[in-house]
């Protein structure tokens, strides 16, 4: 009888794991368990009757690198090629990003000219920060906060303004708490291998090729029928032939892409792929308890009974997995509880008859300017196809809270949506000068939605890997909590884990 694999968590990581389990020859029996009423996790798009699309989670995926190419290959195989909305390299949303600092918008410098002269909000030419990096000795610490690392290599202003904002625009996090080794492994390795970050980025880190993108904790795993060995998978880098879509993305220098029906259509296409292949997809099915049976299989306790599985792939947030582990896995649960996640308020706004003062991807706000307001995405610039029918509209997404949610708004479970809407509208008035009231607004509070790789995260994931290996648990850990929060990283971690489980690259 084919072994049973239970995938727990129906976000993009869990769905991608099912996809790789189902598409090979002689697939195991696959069951996906999702606690909520829908599949897709943070991939959430609202489609309105007039054809507009509002993203409440990810809105753009990067095509570059091995992981970006792998996602595009999957998108092609799912038949979504015709739905792709690319943002080419010469588009304003690719070229222009802004910072709101000193109560004004500033375009982030690009090109040589922007580096040679002082460009506000920076008081000196960024060239000098580059020179500093080329001359500074290499660091010796095994990990450092992102802020400390950038301060040491590029100086205080770059750390306080540029990198503070970058960490808010990717992790909704505080660069003084986040780990450079885990959040920006390319920068960390560039310094380690070439002494200078810029040299490392220009020449490549000089590492041997076959390593994961974010960590190096991969454990070799025998094929599924023999599996009693654990997996904590970093985003995998094994490459197949480049897809036509990926070649096109490279030729047209896409900075990001979306889908005509919004990012949620990626989850829907995966569901449509999985159902006819016999994968059982169960919503309203929260996993309550995992227990190891004497024969080595797992017993999964659900709200309405129990089931057995030979292998469990956890695509849950780390803290959710910690809640269901058996008592004998308490050392693992303790590590998992130390991987926190921050909450983000996402407010979508649509305006009619207004013009943005600048055109670009959006702007970020350094924490020193306004800790509570992370940034504003100008959605209608990158993806006007999502504006819907009718008058030309401006669609914006205001993101608030993150690592500063508690101090700014209190408990995310109790905050009033009206307060968030008011704060978002005030920010749009103040920072973009749009005075009229929006014609449409949607407020969402995403609790614990972006994991934070804090200082020492790499040691935590190593200890987790070691525990899984020593205990020989038939358990794979994938998802945003471990080795990259981007959609690409989540899909790549699923692919790597299933490749190890099946004993062949996916």
Ligand X SMILES: Cc1cc2nc3c(=O)[nH]c(=O)nc-3n(C[C@H](O)[C@H](O)[C@H](O)COP(=O)(O)OP(=O)(O)OC[C@H]3O[C@@H](n4cnc5c(N)ncnc54)[C@H](O)[C@@H]3O)c2cc1C
Ligand Y SMILES: C=Cc1c2[nH]c(c1C)Cc1[nH]c(c(CCC(=O)O)c1C)Cc1[nH]c(c(C)c1CCC(=O)O)Cc1[nH]c(c(C)c1C=C)C2
Q: Do residues 371 and 404 make contact, with C-beta atoms less than 8 angstroms apart?
A: yes
The yes or no reply on residue 348 touching ligand X (CB under 6 A) is: no
Q: Which of 272, 271, 331 is nearest to 471 (CA)?
A: 331
By beta-carbon proximity to ligand Y, the closer residue of 165 and 265 is 165
Q: Do residues 290 and 300 make contact, with C-beta atoms less than 8 angstroms apart?
A: yes
By beta-carbon proximity to ligand X, the closer residue of 59 and 218 is 59
Q: Which of 28, 58, 185, 360 binds ligand X (CB under 6 A)?
A: 58
The yes or no reply on residue 44 touching ligand X (CB under 6 A) is: no
Site for ligand X in 74-113 (CB under 6 A): none
The yes or no reply on residue 319 touching ligand X (CB under 6 A) is: no
Binding mask 12-41 for ligand X (x = CB under 6 A): xxx------------------xxxx----x
By beta-carbon proximity to ligand X, the closer residue of 86 and 200 is 86
Q: Which of 506, 479, 63, 502 is nearest to 235 (CA)?
A: 479
What is the rounded distance in angstroms from the CA atom of residue 439 to the CA atom of residue 77? 38
Q: Which of 61, 72, 267, 432 binds ligand X (CB under 6 A)?
A: 61
Q: Given the structure tokens 């409440």, which residue do they identify? A: 56
By beta-carbon proximity to ligand Y, the closer residue of 143 and 489 is 489
By beta-carbon proximity to ligand X, the closer residue of 126 and 400 is 400
By beta-carbon proximity to ligand Y, the closer residue of 55 and 143 is 55
Q: Which of 161, 269, 450, 492 binds ligand X (CB under 6 A)?
A: 450
By beta-carbon proximity to ligand X, the closer residue of 165 and 488 is 488
Q: Are strands 4-8 and 311-314 parallel, antiparallel or unpaired?
A: parallel
Maximum separation of any 2 CA atoms in the chain, in Å? 69
> How many Å separate Cα 457 from the centre of its chain?
16
Question: What is the closest distance, in whole angstroms, from the C-beta atom of residue 94 to ligand Y in the complex?
Answer: 9
Question: What is the closest distance, in whole angstroms, from the C-beta atom of residue 225 to ligand Y in the complex?
Answer: 36
The yes or no reply on residue 317 touching ligand X (CB under 6 A) is: yes
Asked whether the CA dihedral 486, 487, 488, 492 is positive or negative, the reply is positive
The yes or no reply on residue 373 touching ligand X (CB under 6 A) is: no
Could you tell which of ligand X, ligand Y, none binds residue 97, using a CB distance below 5 to 8 A set by kind?
A: ligand Y
What is the rounded distance in angstroms from the CA atom of residue 425 to the CA atom of residue 419? 10
Query: What number of other Cβ atoms are within 10 A of residue 52's Cβ?
Result: 22
Question: What is the closest distance, in whole angstroms, from the C-beta atom of residue 324 to ligand Y in the complex?
Answer: 26
Query: DSSP of 365-423, one letter per residue?
Result: --TTT-TTEEEEE-HHHH-GGGS-SSS-EEEEEEEEEETTHHHHHS-TTT--HHHHHHH
Q: Do residues 476 and 464 make contact, with C-beta atoms less than 8 angstroms apart?
A: no
Q: Which of 147, 386, 395, 446 binds ligand X (CB under 6 A)?
A: 446
By beta-carbon proximity to ligand Y, the closer residue of 408 and 486 is 486
Q: Which span sits near ligand X by CB under 6 A: 63-71, 103-111, 350-358, 479-487?
A: 479-487
Question: What is the closest distance, in whole angstroms, from the C-beta atom of residue 305 to ligand X in the complex?
Answer: 15
Could you tell which of ligand Y, ligand X, none binds residue 33, using a CB distance below 5 to 8 A set by kind?
A: ligand X
Q: Which of 163, 109, 161, 172 is nearest to 369 (CA)?
A: 161
Could you tell which of ligand Y, ligand X, none binds residue 333, using a CB distance below 5 to 8 A set by kind?
A: none
SS3 for 486-498, per residue?
CHHHHHHHHHHHH
Q: Given the structure tokens 């099912």, which residue do they identify? A: 18
Q: Which of 30, 64, 70, 26 is nearest to 493 (CA)?
A: 70
Q: Report CA Rg, the chain.
A: 23
Binding site for ligand Y (CB under 6 A): 62, 97, 166, 168-170, 172, 256, 361-364, 374-377, 399, 450, 485-486
Question: What is the closest distance, in whole angstroms, from the C-beta atom of residue 206 to ligand X in the complex?
Answer: 27
What is the rounded distance in angstroms from the CA atom of residue 301 to the CA atom of residue 314? 14
By beta-carbon proximity to ligand X, the closer residue of 197 and 322 is 322
Q: Which of 5, 30, 99, 316 binds ligand X (CB under 6 A)?
A: 316
The yes or no reply on residue 286 touching ligand X (CB under 6 A) is: yes
Question: What is the closest distance, in whole angstroms, from the C-beta atom of residue 478 to ligand X in the complex?
Answer: 7
Q: Which strand (E) or helix (H) includes residue 474?
A: none
- Contacts with ligand X by CB under 6 A lie at 8-14, 33-36, 41-43, 57-61, 286-287, 315-317, 320, 324, 344, 346, 446, 449-450, 479-480, 485-488, 490
């Amino acid at each position: 009888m084919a072994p049973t694999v239970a995938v727990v968590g129906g976000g993009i990581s869990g769905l991608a794991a099912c996809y790789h389990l189902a598409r090979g020859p002689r697939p195991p029996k696959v069951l996906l368990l999702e606690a909520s009423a829908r599949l897709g996790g943070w991939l959430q798009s609202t489609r309105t009757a007039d054809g507009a699309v509002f993203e409440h989670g990810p809105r753009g995926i990067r095509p570059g690198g091995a992981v970006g190419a792998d996602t595009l290959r999957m998108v092609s195989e799912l038949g979504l090629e015709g739905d792709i909305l690319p943002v080419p390299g010469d588009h304003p949303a690719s070229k222009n990003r802004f910072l709101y600092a000193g109560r004004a918008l500033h375009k982030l410098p690009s090109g040589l000219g922007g580096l040679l002269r002082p460009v506000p909000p920076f008081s000196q030419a960024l060239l000098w920060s580059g020179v500093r990096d080329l001359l500074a000795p290499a660091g010796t610490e095994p990990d450092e906060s992102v802020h400390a690392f950038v301060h040491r290599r590029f100086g205080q202003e770059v750390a306080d303004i540029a990198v503070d904002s970058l960490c808010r625009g990717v992790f909704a996090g505080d660069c003084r708490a986040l780990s450079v080794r885990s959040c920006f492994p390319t920068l960390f390795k560039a310094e380690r291998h070439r002494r200078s970050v810029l040299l490392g980025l220009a020449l490549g880190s000089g590492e041997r090729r076959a390593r994961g993108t974010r960590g190096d904790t991969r454990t070799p795993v025998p094929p599924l029928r023999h599996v009693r060995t654990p997996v904590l998978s970093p985003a995998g880098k094994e490459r197949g032939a480049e897809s036509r879509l990926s070649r096109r993305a490279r030729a047209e220098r896409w900075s990001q892409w979306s889908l005509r029906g919004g990012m949620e259509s990626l989850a829907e296409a995966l569901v449509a792929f999985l159902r006819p292949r016999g994968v059982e997809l169960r919503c309203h099915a929260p996993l309550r308890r995992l227990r190891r049976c004497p024969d080595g299989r797992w017993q999964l306790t659900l709200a309405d009974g129990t089931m057995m599985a030979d292998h469990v792939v956890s695509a849950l947030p780390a803290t959710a997995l910690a809640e269901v582990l058996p008592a004998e896995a308490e050392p693992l649960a303790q590590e998992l509880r130390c991987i926190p996640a921050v909450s983000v308020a996402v407010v979508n706004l649509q305006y009619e008859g207004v013009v943005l003062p600048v055109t670009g991807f959006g702007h970020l706000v350094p924490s020193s300017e306004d800790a509570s307001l992370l940034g504003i995405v100008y959605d209608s610039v990158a993806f006007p196809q999502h504006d819907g029918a009718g008058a030309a509209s401006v669609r914006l997404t205001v993101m608030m809270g993150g690592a500063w949610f508690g101090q700014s708004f209190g408990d995310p479970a109790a905050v009033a949506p009206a307060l968030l809407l008011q704060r978002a509208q005030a920010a749009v008035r103040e920072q973009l000068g749009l005075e009229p009231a929006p014609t449409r607004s949607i407020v969402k509070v995403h609790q614990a939605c972006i994991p934070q790789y804090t200082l020492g995260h790499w040691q935590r994931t190593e200890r987790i890997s070691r525990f899984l290996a020593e205990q020989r648990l038939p358990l794979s850990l994938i998802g945003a909590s471990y080795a990259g929060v981007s959609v690409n990283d989540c899909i790549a971690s699923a692919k790597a884990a299933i490749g190890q489980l099946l004993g062949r690259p996916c």
